[in-house]
Chains A and B, each alone.
Chain A
Amino acid sequence: MQLYLPIADIPVNVFLILAMGAAVGFVSGMFGIGGGFLMTPLLIFVGITPAVAVASVASHIAASSFSGAISYWRRRAIDPLLAAVLLTGGSLGTALGVWTFTLLRSLGQLDLMIALSYVILLTTVGGLMFWEGLRALLRARRGGPVTTRRPGSHVWIHGLPLKMRFKRSKIYLSVIPVVVIGLIIGFIGAVMGIGGGFILVPLLIYVLRVPTSTVIGTSMVLTLVTMVFATMLHAVTNHLVDAVLALILMIGGVTGAQFGARAGQKIRGEHLRLLLGLLVLAVGVRFAVELVLRPEDLFTIRQTGVAG
């Protein structure tokens, strides 16, 4: 069934988009991530402009992280204070990100920057995850104890001022690194159309040493609020949010996520991390290939204004 997307301005097959939403939802449910880093590239590959894809995926991630956040809230697995401090940085980062997005778009370099940041971020994070997962797997096979690495118990971060007690997470920490992490996630989320969960969770665990009981729920709250904020800002400044596209994605996404979550429970942790690492790496490499290969057409046209 063909449907015309009002903002993306192209006709698409509803079932294709629904299936993409469900597939990404499955993956996101399985790994406990938002899945924006998969959704945005997929939309770009089916012909939706990167700008519309980034802006519309923001609202899709808002939906999936909201349903996630509700269930984590019921289980009291969210640290409200930590979420609030992350959010102060996150909102600022999102605003900066949308501003950068608008600027790059007017310079004609937005598509390049989106592709470049995908390459850099995804190959780095994916590579690290893959390596980490591989090592854990090899250790397990050799019969050694499976330990998650927790680098240096007293790094410089713990010497920073403005310390605060986060009761639910049972940590005593300076607010500076928390705000900075929120800022970075908000910024890349708005520019790249990703929730940033797959970067935020490792950062919270390894850098801030947030316990695993509250880490995913809290990261979902940050994702939720920054993505709602990003949706608003993209809608107001760039008019690029395609609500019809977003709705189809959301419906597919939230459904797929339920099945993904069930599948995820059956797979061993290190296998899961290895798979996720591979997936992230693959998307990054796909973008890199795109940049290096000679494009099919060297020319592109963009309408800049209606003259009536």
Chain B
Amino acid sequence: MIARLLLTLGGLALGATLAVAPARAEKLIVSVSNHRVTVTPNYSGEELVLFGSVEKDANTPANRTYDLVVTVAGPRADMVTRRKERRFGIWINTDSRQFLKVPTYLALFSNRPFDAIASPEVQRRQQLGLNNVLLTQRVGGDYADVVPDDAFRSAFVRLRRQHGLYREETSAVTFLTPTLFRTGIPLPAEVPIGLYNVEIKLFADGALVAKTETAFEIVKVGFEQFVATTAQQHGFVYGLITAFMALMTGWMASIVFRKD
């Protein structure tokens, strides 16, 4: 497990140097439709649009075809995945794994299947696809990612996907012209608030040729966010207000429905 982590880290460093090495033949210019998404109480999900174009210069080989991979990663958090087992005839939580600083939202979009874009080696190095993204687990005293088919890792990814918080779509990026592309970024109702990083990687002939980054922010506004913040930061006042509200409701009811 550690070996794979080191390999991935090494791969990342190598990938970075390789990306810089070739003459900057292509440049990516991107923009998201909205840099600040506000979530209101009746928010039921929306879709951001990412637009971009590939700028070529004199060094660019002619008639190059491009592949594009967009990775959107939401704010990171620690999460615990628990597994139920049958003990004494009932199902209870037994084993658990902690995932450290993993993205709460993660979406990977591309214009065609990752296998068609790059070799498995490049896919792993560039973290293309949910199977290749680094999800650090605490395993005993070690910190490492595990193989993609590990029971806890796959359950974690599967559950996040069920909620629409982890996504992988290999046909979501469309090239409008050979150099102009767009993709939608669906944000479900349960989307966590915070800063979202968007990484755009351009591939040609199975190799990374350019990459760029952008970001957007999701903020919750209005009464419900005020309630959530107060509950978290001023527990005592919040409790007092809730208790007072309960008593007022009860008192009002006894007046409204008084029989005599």
Q: Say whether B156 contacts A71, CB under 8 Å.
A: no
A281 at the interface (CB under 8 A from B): no
B87-103 vs A, CB cutoff 8 Å, 1 = contact: the mask equals: 00111110010101100
Q: Say whether B82 contacts A300, CB under 8 Å.
A: yes
Shortest distance between the CB of B196 and any CB in chain A (Å):
13
Q: A294-B91, A300-B82, A307-B76 are in contact. Are A243 and B104 (CB under 8 A)?
A: no
Q: A67-B250, A243-B231 are in contact. Are A4 and B41 (CB under 8 A)?
A: yes
A272-308 vs B, CB cutoff 8 Å, 1 = contact: the mask equals: 0000000000000000000111110111111111111
Q: Say whether B246 contacts A303, CB under 8 Å.
A: no
- Counting contact residues on chain A (CB < 8 A from B), the size range is 35 or more
Shortest distance between the CB of B45 and any CB in chain A (Å):
10
Scan residues 220-247 of chain B and give those whose CB is less than 8 A from a CB of chain A.
Answer: 224-225, 227-228, 231-232, 235-236, 238-243, 245-247
Q: Say whether B227 contacts A7, CB under 8 Å.
A: yes
Q: Say whether A3 contacts B41, CB under 8 Å.
A: yes
Scan residues 224-267 of chain A and give those whose CB is less than 8 A from a CB of chain B.
Answer: 227-228, 231-237, 239, 241, 243-244, 246-247, 250-251, 254-255, 257-258
Shortest distance between the CB of B243 and any CB in chain A (Å):
5
B67-100 vs A, CB cutoff 8 Å, 1 = contact: the mask equals: 0000000011111111111100111110010101
Cβ contact of A6, chosen from B42, B158, B231, cutoff 8 A:
B231
Q: A4-B41, A241-B238 are in contact. Are A306 and B77 (CB under 8 A)?
A: yes
Q: Say whether A231 contacts B242, CB under 8 Å.
A: yes
Q: Say whether B225 contacts A237, CB under 8 Å.
A: no
Q: Say whether B79 contacts A304, CB under 8 Å.
A: yes
Please report the C-alpha to C-alpha distance between residue A304 and residue B238 in the assembled complex, in whole angstroms: 22
Shortest distance between the CB of A132 and any CB in chain B (Å):
28
B253 contact set on A, CB distance < 8 A: 63-64, 67, 254-255, 257-258
Cβ contact of B249, chosen from A108, A254, A258, cutoff 8 A:
A254
Q: Say whether A307 contacts B77, CB under 8 Å.
A: yes
A108 contact set on B, CB distance < 8 A: 80, 82, 93, 96
Please report the C-alpha to C-alpha distance between residue A295 and residue B254 in the assembled complex, in whole angstroms: 43
Please report the C-alpha to C-alpha distance between residue A64 and residue B251 in the assembled complex, in whole angstroms: 9
Shortest distance between the CB of B244 and any CB in chain A (Å):
9
Cβ contact of B251, chosen from A6, A66, A111, A241, cutoff 8 A:
A66
Scan residues 170-228 of chain A and give those whose CB is less than 8 A from a CB of chain B.
Answer: 227-228
B242 contact set on A, CB distance < 8 A: 59, 231, 235, 241, 243, 246
Q: Say whether B80 contacts A301, CB under 8 Å.
A: yes
A305 contact set on B, CB distance < 8 A: 77-78
B44 at the interface (CB under 8 A from A): yes
B190 at the interface (CB under 8 A from A): yes
A269 at the interface (CB under 8 A from B): no
Shortest distance between the CB of B229 and any CB in chain A (Å):
9
Shortest distance between the CB of B166 and any CB in chain A (Å):
11
B83 contact set on A, CB distance < 8 A: 298-299
Please report the C-alpha to C-alpha distance between residue A254 and residue B251 in the assembled complex, in whole angstroms: 10
Please report the C-alpha to C-alpha distance between residue A128 and residue B104 in the assembled complex, in whole angstroms: 48
B78 contact set on A, CB distance < 8 A: 303-307
A62 at the interface (CB under 8 A from B): yes
A1-37 vs B, CB cutoff 8 Å, 1 = contact: the mask equals: 0111111011100000000000000000000000000
Q: Say whether A228 contacts B246, CB under 8 Å.
A: yes
Please report the C-alpha to C-alpha distance between residue A7 and residue B240 in the assembled complex, in whole angstroms: 16
Cβ contact of A62, chosen from B159, B228, B250, cutoff 8 A:
B250
A160 at the interface (CB under 8 A from B): no
A308 contact set on B, CB distance < 8 A: 75-76
Q: Say whether B82 contacts A295, CB under 8 Å.
A: no
A157 at the interface (CB under 8 A from B): no
Residue of A nearest to B92 (CB): A112
Please report the C-alpha to C-alpha distance between residue A304 and residue B100 in the assembled complex, in whole angstroms: 10
Please report the C-alpha to C-alpha distance between residue A208 and residue B246 in the assembled complex, in whole angstroms: 30
A: residues with CB less than 8 A from B are: 2-7, 9-11, 59-60, 62-71, 108-109, 111-112, 116, 227-228, 231-237, 239, 241, 243-244, 246-247, 250-251, 254-255, 257-258, 291-295, 297-308
A-B CB contact pairs (8 Å), 5 listed:
A66-B249, A237-B235, A247-B249, A299-B156, A301-B160
Extra contacts besides A4-B224, A59-B245, A63-B253 (17): CB < 8 Å: A6-B231, A7-B227, A10-B190, A62-B247, A108-B96, A231-B246, A235-B235, A235-B239, A236-B239, A241-B239, A255-B253, A293-B91, A295-B91, A299-B158, A301-B156, A306-B75, A306-B77
